[in-house]
Chains A and B, each alone.
Chain A
Amino acid sequence: MSGSGRRAGRGLGGPEARAGWLFVAPAFLLYAAFLLVPVLAALLFSVTEVDRFTWQTDFVGLDNFRYIWSDAHFWRSFLNTFEFISLAVSGNVGMGLLVAVLLERRMPRVLLYLLRFAYFMPVLVATALVSLVWKFLYSTDLGILNYYLRAIGLPALGWLSDGRIAMVSIVIMDVWKHFGFFMIILLAALQGVPRSLVESASLDGAGGWRIFWHVKLPLIAPVVLFCITYATIGGLQVFDSVRILTNGGPGDASAVLVLYMYEQTFGAQDLGTGSAAALTLLVVIVLVTALQFAFSRKVARE
């Protein structure tokens, strides 16, 4: 054992090792430049007061954290972010699963490709562009949605100006934009379920719903959990659609954490509080992700 260890050690020396380091270096340098350094910088900024122009830096301890934690707007943004996640994750994964189930059936191959492409296409379009189009659709006076509501005799809705539904409007756009991504992943998972198991269940008299619920869903559960985790992390980072559609409004009805970070850093020109908000968000993401991984391990064991 120890001999093989020494052989392995010798294997890492010399030209091979240098080549190995050279192969690893570009990726590591990119990682360091765009992830490690910014994270370390955010850590430093969060406990300092920095002048962006002179780079004069004063250590302020936890003042920046105290500032944002005593800010009602921060907590409203915090709660809104979780409201967005709960709605957007259910919508994206639920809709993705529903459409995947509908597509996982015998149909002409061309039609299947066409439908998959149609549902996936919004994923390929830039969120900023899509948000501008949806902003027009949602317009209270000129929007096409209210045009049809009025046409069937219903009152127009303040899709983006009514605090009670502004967040829902953002989620509707988010689901339209992203569910295709989850649909593709879940469709692949469904197609990976052994056909023999489905046929056995069918021979035992199980209908389509029972086969899905008792055979397919347990088998694709890890993939569903991955989708939920992925959608949750994306939800925690939501920014561009909110910024363009409502800018967090009306009032702070749709304000989210990343928008708060942006306002502090670039609106108030305060790197310290912006970084403190970013680190708070980081901790939240780590906690939520750890919980979801723990849950997924439990599900996998069962």
Chain B
Amino acid sequence: MKRRLFTAGLATLALAGRAAYAAPPPADIKATLKLFRPATEADISEVNHAIARFKIRYPNVEIKVQYTPTASWAEYINQLMNALSSGESPDVLNIATEGVATLVGRNLLYDLSDILATDPDAKELLADVEPNLLNALRYNGKLDLLPTEWNTVVVFYNTDMFQEAGIAPPAAGWTWDDLVTTAEKLTKRDAAGNIKQFGYFVPGGQFALTTWFQTNDTDRLTPDGRKSNVRDPKFRESLMFLHDLIHKYKVAPTFTVNDTGYAAFSARQAAMISGLHPLVRVLRDAKFTSADVQVVPYRRKQVNICGVMGLAMTRATKNPALAWEFMKVLIDRDMENEIAGNVRSIPARRSSADLPVWTAFPQHWSLFYGAAAKAKPLTAPPNFAQVEQIMMRNIEAYLTGNREIDPTIDNLDQELAQAMSRVKW
């Protein structure tokens, strides 16, 4: 009898949970929701506008936002994990591909299956998003996050410098060798031999660096993300190529971890860099119009990388129905159009990436969303932050000339193998 009552109770709770999605909370509900989000100036403005829209419907709901910088995703994930384990867990959070496995693997996110199957707003959003992008938010085939924006890596180049050097802009199918030839022509030295302008800038972040592995048909981890892959000769070749750009061809400046190169490109110290869409905003704000983009060069495989920013509810939320209503405001068309209007990133919605304000600059803007259908997500295991630390520490040692390639590969392999051996999948 007791068991029957217990089962009936569970069923009632489950039904109540589903009913909450069917019927949003009443407008006079009093509650507090916590949001964990990245912290650029544009982010804050967009969130403030979203909160204002949400408050029209739910005036008595207080929204507390914890903004955290995303200079390094490993650091953002660390801060998020601290917040989640602090007892003051956010109700809604943003996390990119880099942290999806970290969160979903630990079962920290709310199961959106029912919502995605029934809510018309969720269906409307997903119909406007390139399906391939969702793969960057799935973990073991399951989707617990919805995309808000995404990014890929392209080569930004200074059109004036190309013109001055008398060379044609890079073509769509250009190779690593083409990059070296072009960068050599674009590197300028003064009478004393000091370099005044570099042809290329080796990116200091793992996301942009990964394109150099992917375009050589390799990566730092095996395709399932479970084991070290750095002993692959193609991985070694990629690292040696980057080393050569800095030390042999001398067409790129000293490698610096986390330096995107945006400052060097904006200051006209580098003619080409591997960059993400946020650089468009930097250039636009600096009224730097002599720039365009091209796909990254390749050696064995022409491929685009992608990383997607997802929005999710946490399992810890005490008010999932209300949190879902808030989430919808953070991914609605107004929000996406504002991301496009701020030229801050690539909006997840295809329709927003067609707005004139977003397509005004650079000339080949279509390369960004154009990559969505084929882009390959960054491989991000549950211990992404640890993998990033290991990778960047060892790559820095090699690219700054402090270590040879053999000990670098040995060290990377040993440290990655040890780190991956403790991951719980």
Do B400 and A266 touch (CB < 8 A)?
Answer: no
Interface-located stretch among A173-181, A183-191, A222-230, A242-250: A242-250
Q: Could you tell me if A53 and B106 are in contact, using CB atoms closer than 8 angstroms?
A: yes
On whether A249 and B78 interact (CB within 8 A), knowing A140-B254, A263-B386, the answer reads no
Determine if B385 and A251 form an interchain contact, defined as CB atoms under 8 angstroms apart: no
Q: Which residue of B lies closest to A268 (CB)?
A: B386
Overall SS of chain A's interface: loop
Q: Mark interface residues in B392-404 (1 if CB within 8 Å of A CB, else 0).
A: 0110111010110
Contact A162 B400, beta carbon cutoff 8 Å: yes
Q: Contacts A72-B411, A161-B400, A162-B400: A268 and B385 contacting too (C-beta < 8 A)?
A: yes
A274 to chain B, nearest CB (A): 12
> Nearest residue in A to B257 (C-beta to C-beta)?
A249
- Determine if B422 is an interface residue (Cβ-Cβ < 8 Å): yes
Kindly state the separation between the CA atoms of A250 and B102 in the bound complex, as whole angstroms: 27
B419: nearest chain-A partner, CB-CB: A268
B383 close to chain A: CB less than 8 A: yes
In this assembly, does B84 line the interface, its C-beta being within 8 Å of a C-beta of chain A?
yes
A252 contacts the other chain (Cβ, under 8 Å)? Answer: yes
Q: Are B411 and A163 in contact (CB under 8 A)?
A: no
Task: Determine which of A141, A162, A164, A269 lies in contact with B81 in the assembled complex, contact meaning CB atoms within 8 Å.
Answer: A269
B377 at the interface (CB under 8 A from A): no
> A67: which B residues are within 8 A, CB to CB?
418, 422
Interface residue tally for chain B (C-beta within 8 Å): 31
Could you say which of B106, B256, B403, B411 contacts A161, with CB atoms under 8 Å apart?
A: B256
Across the interface, do A270 and B385 meet the contact criterion of CB distance under 8 Å?
Answer: no
CB-CB under 8 A from B106, the residues of chain A are: 51, 53
A250 and B397 in contact (CB under 8 A), knowing A52-B81, A71-B415? yes
CB <8 Å contact, A162 and B402: yes
Chain B, 252-263, contact with A by CB distance < 8 Å: what is the 0/1 string?
011011000000
Query: A267 contacts B389, CB within 8 Å?
Result: yes
Chain A residues, CB < 8 A from B415: 71-73
- Which residue on chain B has the smallest CB distance to residue A263? B389
Q: Tell me the smallest distance from the CB of A73 to a CB of chain B, in Å.
A: 6
User: With the chains together, A269 CA to B253 CA distance in Å?
Assistant: 34
How far is A73 from B280 in the complex, measured between Cα atoms in Å?
Answer: 39
Q: Is B7 on the interface with A (CB-CB < 8 A)?
A: no
Residue of B with least CB distance to A52: B85
Residues on the A chain within 8 Å of B102, using CB: 269
Q: Which of A162, A163, A255, A268 contacts B383 (CB 8 A)?
A: A268
Q: Which residue in A53, A163, A164, A267 is a CB contact (below 8 Å) of B397?
A: A163
Complex partner residue of B78 from A141, A158, A267, CB under 8 angstroms: A267
Is B108's CB under 8 angstroms from A253's CB? no
**Contact indicator A251/B108 (Cβ below 8 Å):** no
Q: Which of A67, A248, A269, A270 has the most CB of B within 10 A?
A: A269
Expressed in whole angstroms, the minimum distance between the Cβ of A2 and any Cβ of chain B is 54
Are A71 and B396 neighbours in the complex by a CB distance under 8 Å? Answer: no
As a 0/1 sequence over residues 252 to 271 of chain A, the CB contacts with chain B under 8 angstroms (1 = contact) are: 11010000000100111110
* C-alpha gap A255/B106 in the complex (Å): 29
Given the known interface contacts A51-B106, A71-B418, the answer about A247 and B386 at a Cβ–Cβ threshold of 8 Å is: no
A249 touches B418 (CB 8 A): no
Q: Is B283's beta carbon under 8 Å from chain A?
A: no
A140 to B256, CA, bound (A): 10
Query: What chain A residues lie within 8 Å of B396 (beta carbons)?
Result: 249-251
Residues in B neighbouring A266, C-beta threshold 8 A: 78, 81-82, 385
The dominant DSSP class at the B interface is helix
Q: Are A163 and B400 in contact (CB under 8 A)?
A: yes
Interchain nearest-CB distance for A262 vs B (Å): 9
**Range of interface residues on A (Cβ < 8 Å):** 20 to 34
Residues of B within 8 A of A263 (CB): 386, 389
The reply to whether B254 and A158 contact each other, CB–CB distance below 8 Å, is yes
Rounded to whole Å, the gap between the CB of A132 and the closest CB of chain B is 13
A148 CB to closest chain B CB (Å) equals 16
Bound Cα distance A255, B257 (Å): 15
B residues within 8 A CB of A162? 400, 402
Q: Does B33 contact A (CB under 8 A)?
A: no
- Closest chain B residue to A248 by CB distance? B393
Which residues of A sit under 8 angstroms from B256, Cβ to Cβ? 161
A-side contacts of B402, CB under 8 Å: 162-164, 250-251, 253
With contact pairs A53-B106, A163-B402, A251-B402 given, residues A269 and B383 touching in the complex (Cβ less than 8 Å):
yes
Nearest CB in chain A to that of B395: its residue:
A251
B204 to chain A, nearest CB (A): 11
Which residues on the A side are within 8 Å of B397 (C-beta)? Answer: 163, 249-253
CA distance A94 to B291 in the complex (A): 55
Q: Verify if B74 is at the interface (C-beta below 8 Å from A).
A: yes
Q: Which residues of B contact A251 (CB under 8 A)?
A: 393-394, 396-398, 400, 402-403
Chain B residues, CB < 8 A from A247:
257
User: Which residue on chain A has the smallest CB distance to residue B403?
Assistant: A251
Residue B118 CB within 8 A of the other chain: no
> Does B366 make an interface contact (CB < 8 A)?
no
- Given B108, B257, B398, B400, which contacts A158 in the complex, CB threshold below 8 Å? B400
The winner among A70, A164, A268 for most chain B CB atoms within 10 A is A268
Does B414 reach chain A (CB closer than 8 Å)?
A: yes
Interface string of A27-70 (1 = CB under 8 A from B): 00000000000000000000000011100000000000001001
User: Known contacts A51-B106, A52-B85; is A267 also within 8 Å of B386 by CB?
Assistant: yes
- What's the nearest-Cβ distance from chain B to residue A155, in Å? 11
Report Cα–Cα, A52/B108, bound state, in Å.
Answer: 11
B-side contacts of A268, CB under 8 Å: 383, 385-386, 419, 422
A165-208 CB mask vs B (1 if < 8 Å, else 0) is: 00000000000000000000000000000000000000000000
CA distance A70 to B81 in the complex (A): 27
1/0 per position for A109-126, CB-CB distance to B under 8 A?
000000000000000000
Contact bitstring A137-167, B, C-beta under 8 A = 1, else 0: 0001100000000000000001001111000
**4 smallest beta-carbon distances between A and B, as pairs:** A251-B397, A163-B402, A268-B386, A52-B85
Interchain Cβ contacts under 8 Å between A and B, 28 examples: A51-B106, A53-B85, A53-B106, A67-B418, A71-B415, A72-B411, A140-B254, A158-B400, A161-B256, A163-B403, A247-B257, A248-B393, A249-B393, A249-B397, A250-B397, A251-B393, A251-B397, A251-B402, A252-B393, A253-B402, A266-B78, A267-B389, A268-B385, A268-B386, A268-B422, A269-B81, A269-B102, A269-B383
Chain B residues close to A by CB (< 8 Å): 74, 78, 81-82, 84-85, 102, 106, 108, 253-254, 256-257, 383, 385-386, 389, 393-394, 396-398, 400, 402-403, 411, 414-415, 418-419, 422
Instruction: Kindly list 7 other residue pairs between chains A and B, CB separation below 8 angstroms, not including A249-B393, A251-B393.
Output: A53-B85, A249-B396, A251-B397, A251-B398, A266-B78, A266-B385, A269-B81
